[in-house]
Amino acid sequence: MAPDGRPAFEDAQDTNRRTYQVRTFGCQMNVHDSERMAGLLEDAGMVPVTEGLADVIVFNTCAVRENADNKLYGHLGQLAPLKEKNPDLQIAVGGCLAQKDRDTILQKAPWVDAVFGTHNVGALPALLERARHNSKAQLEILESLEVFPSTLPTKRDSVYSGWVSISVGCNNTCTFCIVPSLRGQERDRRPGEILAEIQALVDDGAIEVTLLGQNVNSYGVEFGDRLAFSKLLRACGQIEGLERVRFTSPHPAAFTDDVIEAMAETPNVMPQLHMPLQSGSDKVLKDMRRSYRSTKFLGILDKVRERIPHAAISTDIIVGFPGETEEDFQATLDVVEQSRFATAFTFQYSKRPGTPAADLPDQLPKAVVQERYERLVALQDRIAAEENAKQVGREVEVLVAAQSGRKSEQTHRLSGRSQDQRLVHFSVPEGAEVPRPGDLVTVTITEAAAFHLVADPATPADYRFRRSRAGDAWDRSQAESCGVPGTGTAGTVPGKGVLLGMPKLPTPVR
């Protein structure tokens, strides 16, 4: 161990430090957990890899989908010959699949050095050091939370936007979901701890936060305050410099009017809601053990739109749940038509061993599920295009992202997210100041497609630019990482320069 108590991986000089890479599969919770893993490794003296193969590769896994196992073992198989050539290479597997499979991972991939679960992320550096010292794989899976993850060191992926966990675990018993058995029962952080973390992010330059929880709006159940989530949203509105607040994902059964009022009355809570539907059939919802019905779901949307007329609403939908009839599926199509979702993340039912749904009769043939899935996607694509078309001519404020679209080299456009979370590709008029990631621009939408909007201002008068603390933080981060000179100057237009370093914002995956 080093004198400060950290695992003594290597010499303190950057040139001699071991490098790491964290590869993430799964949801926003996993993305945020990966930030903690990166923070732990850097706290232990390691640095992120910039080129070539890292000295330590960590897989943060997801177990929600059926192909999660194959995906992991495929990646591990690719590393086996590299590990044989270089025994000093270390490979670790954590997250939900590690929590579920445990010994199976080391049986199938004995070249893995460390396996850890969802409850002991903080053990990662010590497990790697023990594996290296003992020349033996280390397996450590805890059944309950040891340390609340948000107390661990965190290496944020973005300087202008950050994830903040307000709870971990889930108290629901949805028959298709394996998450409660892997993440445990809901544990809520105290409001003061959450607000302190948000304030620290803002002090570092962030202007946007997303509150995370498996069922984010059931926050407060552990300490007996059913209004705790709406109070937390309102408290976020008091943080100076915090311009955008989002949250994901709420459960319809726990969605109360006080949350809608807090959304409407708190200026920095964005006009955007992601709320999983899963199915429009009341019979299927009952079989899924989802404690709401389609009428309640649609009623929530009506109330949100009454108080926040421009709210963009997105959802998750599962197609082909066991026993789903054509009539049930039509009910889902009907609810989707009524809901007018801006985006829907659609999934074919995935049979997960250990869940009640895996043992239900009437598992549907793949061909039936595929055909229904394609019909749902076609419907939602049409609705998304129609809803986006309504945005043409509307003025929107865009938080500029670090990376632009795939066609940015040809279009010379930058990209970012509007307040309602729609993806906007925009151009900078000749002679106008070019924004940095984290800056904000106000533009008028000129074109629309199903999955993005376009704004091409004709003149500088059609384009308003606002420098932000987040843009300044971007400059500082680039100077520290030698990405670009930290001169405080604006960024560059794609095709005329390069914006380095940060991952792009997620786009809808179907």
Task: Give the list of residues 6+ apart from residue 65 with CB closer than 8 angstroms, or none.
Answer: 347, 350
| Contact in structure between 213 and 165 (CB atoms under 8 Å) | yes
Q: What share of the chain is helix, strand, coil (3-state, %, to 5)?
A: 35, 20, 45
The reply to whether 62 sits in an annotated binding site is yes
- Rounded to a whole number of angstroms, the distance between the first and last alpha carbons of the chain is 47
Q: Which residues pair with 116 in a beta bridge?
A: 140
The reply to whether 482 sits in an annotated binding site is no
User: Residue 6, Cα to own-chain centre: how many angstroms?
Assistant: 30
Q: 321-352: buried (b, 16+ CB within 10 Å) or exposed (e) per residue? A: bbbbeeebbebbeebbeebebbbbebbbbbeb
| Contact in structure between 46 and 56 (CB atoms under 8 Å) | yes
Residue in this structure with the two tokens 């193969």, named with its chain if needed? 53
350 cis-preceded (ω within 30 degrees of 0):
no
Residue in this structure with the two tokens 């929107």, named with its chain if needed? 396
Q: 173-193: buried (b, 16+ CB within 10 Å) or exposed (e) per residue? A: ebbbbbbbbbbbebbbbebee
Residue 199: CB atoms within 10 A of its CB come to 14
φ, ψ (nearest 5 deg) of residue 400: -70, 130
User: Distance between CA 486 and CA 195 in Å, rounded?
Assistant: 30
User: Distance between CA 20 and CA 38 in Å, rounded?
Assistant: 8
| Contact in structure between 344 and 315 (CB atoms under 8 Å) | yes
Structure-block tokens of residue 307: 């108080």
The reply to whether 177 sits in an annotated binding site is yes
Q: What is the bridge-based pairing of β-strands 395-400 and 440-444? A: antiparallel
| Contact in structure between 379 and 336 (CB atoms under 8 Å) | yes
Q: What is the bridge-based pairing of β-strands 208-212 and 161-165? A: parallel
- Cα–Cα distances (Å) from 404 to 412, 417, 423, 474, 506, in that order, read 9, 11, 10, 16, 11
Structure-block tokens of residue 48: 């992120």
Binding positions: 27, 62, 96, 170, 174, 177
Binding positions for [4Fe-4S] cluster: 27, 62, 96, 170, 174, 177
